[in-house]
Chain A
Amino acid sequence: NAGVTQTPKFRVLKTGQSMTLLCAQDMNHEYMYWYRQDPGMGLRLIHYSVGEGTTAKGEVPDGYNVSRLKKQNFLLGLESAAPSQTSVYFCASSYGKVRYEQYFGPGTRLTVT
C-alpha cells in the first residue's frame, strides 16, 4: 500500500514549456486535490476532484489544468510555464463525505527559469 505517490519529485522547466504532474493513490479515495506551497506560506488549493471525470477550481487555478480520467489518478498540467509557478506541489486524497482526513503525497519541487 503506497498511499499517495507523485511523479516526478523534481523538475526544472524553461519559461513557456509544458509539463504534467502525476498523482496516484491506491486507497480507493473519491476525492483528490492539488495544492501549491510557496516559501513562507501554507498550502493553497489549485484544483480538486470529487470523483472520476469531475474537476473543479480551487483558490489559485490560473495557469493550470487538471484531469481525472481514472479514479486513482489526478493529473496537473502546466501548458506554458511561468516563473511564478515555481513552487512545491502537493497532491492529496480523501475518502470524501464523512471521512474527511486528507492524505498527502511527498511533493514535487518545480523550478521555472
Chain B
Amino acid sequence: AQTVTQSQPEMSVQEAETVTLSCTYDTSESNYYLFWYKQPPSRQMILVIRQEAYKQQNATENRFSVNFQKAAKSFSLKISDSQLGDTAMYFCAFMKRREGAQKLVFGQGTRLTINP
C-alpha cells in the first residue's frame, strides 16, 4: 500500500517570503502522479500543482513549484513571494497511474500561515 508523509504539521512565514513544504511517499509503483492540494478555511479542496512521475522536469504553476526527487521519493512544494491568501492546509497526494479507478492517497497535511 502507498503511504504519504508530511512531516511538518504547521509552518508560519511572513508575507513575501518563500516557503517550502515537505512530502515523502512510499510506493513500489514506477508510474504514478503526485499532487499538492490547498484547503483554505472555506474547506474547498483546490488543486495547486501536479507532477507525472515519468517526467523529469519539475512542475511549476506561477508562484508554485515542486522539487520532485523520484529516487528519494520526495515531492516538496515551494511557494515564492507568499501572499496572505496562501494561508491554508496543504495536502500532498499520490495516485497510481493505471486503468480503472484513480484513487488518491493523502498525507496528513501541513497548516501554513502567512503573516502580514
Contacts and interface: CB of A to CB of B under 8 A. Distances in A.
Interface residues of B, number: 23
A41 B43 contact: no
A59 B47 CA distance: 22
Interface string A34-46: 0100001111110
B95 interface: yes
A102 B91 contact: no
- Band of interface residues on A: 20 to 34
A101 B106 contact: no
A59 B105 CA distance: 9
Interface in A1-60: 31, 33, 35, 40-45, 48, 50, 56, 58-59
B112 interface: no
The prevalent SS among residues of B at the interface is loop
11 contacts: A35-B104, A40-B9, A41-B106, A42-B106, A44-B106, A94-B102, A97-B99, A100-B97, A102-B104, A106-B42, A106-B43
Interface string B81-116: 000000000010101010111111011110000000
Contact of A100 (B4, B33, B42, B45): B33
A104 interface: yes
A42 B4 contact: yes
